[in-house]
Structure 1
Amino acid sequence: MAMRQRLAVFWGVAAVAFAGAAVADDASTIPPREAVIRSLPSLHLLEPWWSSPVIYGDSTLPMQAEKDGPITGRLAFPATEILSIKDANGARTYELGKDVTLAGDGKTLVFTSESKVPFLTSDDLYPPAGAPNSYKHRVGHPEQNMLFWQGHWFHDRQVEITYRRKSTGWPIEAPKFAAEALPKTLARLRAKEPVTIGVSGDSITQGYNATGFTDGEPHMAPYPDLVAAQLQATYGSPITLKNRAIAGWSIAHGLKDLDNLLAEKPHLIILAYGMNDVGRRDPEWFRSQVAEFLKRAREADPAIEVILVASMTGNREWIHVPNEMFPKYRDALKSLTGPGVALADLTSLWMLLDHSKLHLDLTGNGLNHPNDCGHRLYAQAILGLLVAPAK
């Protein structure tokens, strides 16, 4: 791909990230640490989907595929028992049997007309060219627009379901406690010593579309804040979070900002890029940038440990986030793991969920950001490296 084309792709993604800047002023609406800690019991961050028999807060966006057809939602896994169904913003709850039924496959929810559940139709997904709250370049239809909203618009139309899943198995490699890769961080946590976490990333990691960032209900903090709060609550170690993630950034920006990040004296760095980089279709370039980041960080302080975050996938219908590139970028990160460097693989998790759910079920903006449920999954994957599973 020519450089001019690569820049056009990058700035296409960046523009989407920056489009939400008026919704939330950086981190001004993110709840304080004390409030985040109080919210932790309801978030079940240490009961991740890959090890818990109960799936807490699975998110779906009810859809009506055909005019006057059924309104349906999708579960990630077959359920044996539905425990609760509610709007993601808490506006209402739904009664099984009256408002919604569970289809025979155990994965499809069918909402009745009595439920008054918010829903979208297939036509809603592709607004006319030039329509507000839309973005160009659908795969195969480059002049067709796709539905896009910042803030908590999608969140306010999503439903969260808690249920017991039929099988307790997990079909892909699950996050594993990183005792060998992150020994220094874990030693500090166990000794209840102060830990400073430095964060470098893009709009996802800055917090976009978590309701604590967009000032929506229930004001859930973005995933870096969830990780810091859960570590503090679990270990009793004072956690300082220095989040330097910026919407629209590429790994190249993170590398340029590394000296500023190192000035924060982090013990642990969370490095989370990819969404704004896959459009280059150049995983080797991405690997070289991350490798240079790691080299310079080690030179500055050999004790620094790093968690590399392989990005969630984007909307496969949006041309700027070629989904076939995400696993290649994930593999580039995986090749850099070893002593002092661990991988939180959100790419594989999103690819797994793509088999059961729509991208819109977990989206915060329709294209390339997670919703509250997605931010919880990010936090669960990172915490899986830092908190030993209960015996």
Structure 2
Amino acid sequence: MPEPPPLAEGERRLANIYLPGPMGRLGEFHLFPILETVYPEEPSRGPSPAETFLPRTMARLRSGEPLKILAWGDSVTAAGRFQPLFLAHLRRRFPQAEIELVTEAWPGKNTVDYLAEPPGSGRNFAEKVLALKPDLILSEFVNDASLRESPGETRARYERIREAFRGIGAEWILLTPHYVKPDWMGLDRQRNIDDDPRPYVRFLREFAQDHHIALADTSRRYGRLWRQGIPYLTLMENGINHPNLAGHQILHETDSAFRIGRFPGPSCHGAHDPGGAAGPRGRGAGERTGFFGRGQGSPAGGGAEPAGFPATRARRRQESHHRSAR
């Protein structure tokens, strides 16, 4: 997918012009001025979100007791990109911790499918999720946003999942889904889209608040990318719904060690600085406030992708269809 052209030393990006393909004329929605350079994270007050919503997880991280983390989801989780970043961050933050990360993901499916699978099927919820007995569960289901069901049906299913997790003593981080192809979301553009129109996203925010569950609000972060001059589809590897490395970096920055902010407000602080003055890599390195503590600069390490857009090193250069106004 196209990326903004790199800046030379001393240059500052004022805007991006996005040319997604053949077009008759340039319109308003092709223009992406740089309105902000970082996500406007609210200042943290009081105990950290992890202390409030994940006390048992925090206790294990500090004591060195074994901590088993399960990443449960669909094809986005199956890609195996954002959860290793989570693990790498925790190991840097708590070097004494004994952490195991496992993934259970079913591409193209959703929570309805998991709960409907009979025993012995290979995807049965009790056998493939609960039987792992994780201490902490990260759940990501962008496919649940496409279900045609009543709010009551969604809530009843998530109540069932919540009770099952409580039954095994697991703590839970809910991820709201990233943005996908605009017409799948009822959108006709990639700017002026701060408010996610999907009922599923509204439900997750309400459900997390009602039940005091940690929320990683990826949707809020994606909804403001246009303010940083970034058409969010440029972060989709397939141009539809599968994030590339930079897109997964946002999940990393909005989920617990992926930079959750104060619950239940917006998350992700310090990712992407397309309007900043060019430095060694064309961006600044601001201090970031993480769910499990504060860290300086990029969370990259142990094979993780550096923070910022575009992602570097691990991704081959692709021809850019952006033009920068400098």
Give the TM-score range, shorter chain. 0.5 to 0.7
Contact 1:201 1:250 in 2 (8 A): yes
Q: Please point out which of 64, 84, 106 is paired with 1:225.
A: 84
**Structure 2 residue aligned with 1:328:** 199
Contact 1:272 1:309 in 2 (8 A): yes
The one-letter code of the counterpart of 2:241 is: N
Residues 1:108 and 2:11 are matched in the alignment: no
Q: Please point out which of 287, 310, 317 is paired with 2:176.
A: 310
Contact 1:309 1:345 in 2 (8 A): yes
Q: Distance in 1 between matches of 2:197 and 2:175?
A: 12
Q: Which has the higher contact order (CA 8 A, sep 6+)?
A: 2
Q: Distance in 2 between matches of 1:123 and 1:166?
A: 27
Query: Percent of aligned positions with the same letter in both sequences?
Result: 25
Q: Distance in 2 between matches of 1:121 and 1:269?
A: 37
Contact 1:196 1:239 in 2 (8 A): yes
* Alignment gaps of 5+ in structure 1: 1-59, 63-72, 75-84, 86-93, 110-118, 125-164, 208-220
The alpha-carbon distance between structure 1 residues 293 and 173, as it changes in their structure 2 partners (threshold 3 A), is farther
Q: Distance in 1 between matches of 2:181 and 2:81?
A: 20
Residues 1:373 and 2:217 are matched in the alignment: no
The alpha-carbon distance between structure 1 residues 251 and 290, as it changes in their structure 2 partners (threshold 3 A), is same
Q: Distance in 1 between matches of 2:38 and 2:174?
A: 26
Residues 1:196 and 2:196 are matched in the alignment: no
Q: Distance in 2 between matches of 1:231 and 1:268?
A: 13
Contact 1:251 1:274 in 2 (8 A): no
The alpha-carbon distance between structure 1 residues 340 and 225, as it changes in their structure 2 partners (threshold 3 A), is farther
The alpha-carbon distance between structure 1 residues 381 and 314, as it changes in their structure 2 partners (threshold 3 A), is same
3-state SS of the aligned residue for 1:311?
coil
1:115-153 per-position Cα deviation (integer Å, ceiling 9, x unaligned): xxxx975139xxxxxxxxxxxxxxxxxxxxxxxxxxxxx
Q: Please point out which of 146, 149, 153 is paired with 1:285.
A: 153
The alpha-carbon distance between structure 1 residues 234 and 295, as it changes in their structure 2 partners (threshold 3 A), is same
* 1:21-170 matches, cutoff 5 A: 61-62=2-3, 73=4, 85=6, 95=8, 102=12, 106-108=14-16, 122-123=21-22, 170=39
**Structure 2 residue aligned with 1:82:** none
Contact 1:102 1:108 in 2 (8 A): no
Q: Distance in 1 between matches of 2:241 and 2:69?
A: 25
State the TM-score, normalizing by the size of structure 1: 0.52
Contact 1:201 1:271 in 2 (8 A): yes
State the TM-score, normalizing by the size of structure 2: 0.62
Residues 1:252 and 2:117 are matched in the alignment: no
Q: Please point out which of 260, 266, 270 is paired with 2:138.
A: 270
Q: Distance in 2 between matches of 1:203 and 1:181?
A: 27
Residues 1:352 and 2:220 are matched in the alignment: no
* 178-187 or 286-295, larger mean C-alpha shift: 286-295
The one-letter code of the counterpart of 1:245 is: A
Task: Report deviation, 1:177.
Answer: 3.0
Q: Please point out which of 37, 43, 52 is paired with 1:180.
A: 52
**Structure 1 residue aligned with 2:100:** 240
Q: Distance in 1 between matches of 2:109 and 2:226?
A: 25
Contact 2:177 2:218 in 1 (8 A): yes
Q: Distance in 2 between matches of 1:281 and 1:352?
A: 28
The alpha-carbon distance between structure 1 residues 184 and 121, as it changes in their structure 2 partners (threshold 3 A), is closer
1:308-341 per-position Cα deviation (integer Å, ceiling 9, x unaligned): 1100011203x4x445865532221122226662
The one-letter code of the counterpart of 1:370 is: P
CA RMSD of aligned residues (A): 3.3
Contact 2:72 2:140 in 1 (8 A): yes
Task: Report deviation, 1:232.
Answer: 2.0
* 325-334 or 192-201, larger mean C-alpha shift: 325-334
Q: Distance in 2 between matches of 1:336 and 1:276?
A: 14
The alpha-carbon distance between structure 1 residues 325 and 170, as it changes in their structure 2 partners (threshold 3 A), is closer
3-state SS of the aligned residue for 1:337?
helix
The one-letter code of the counterpart of 1:388 is: G
Q: Distance in 2 between matches of 1:96 and 1:282?
A: 53
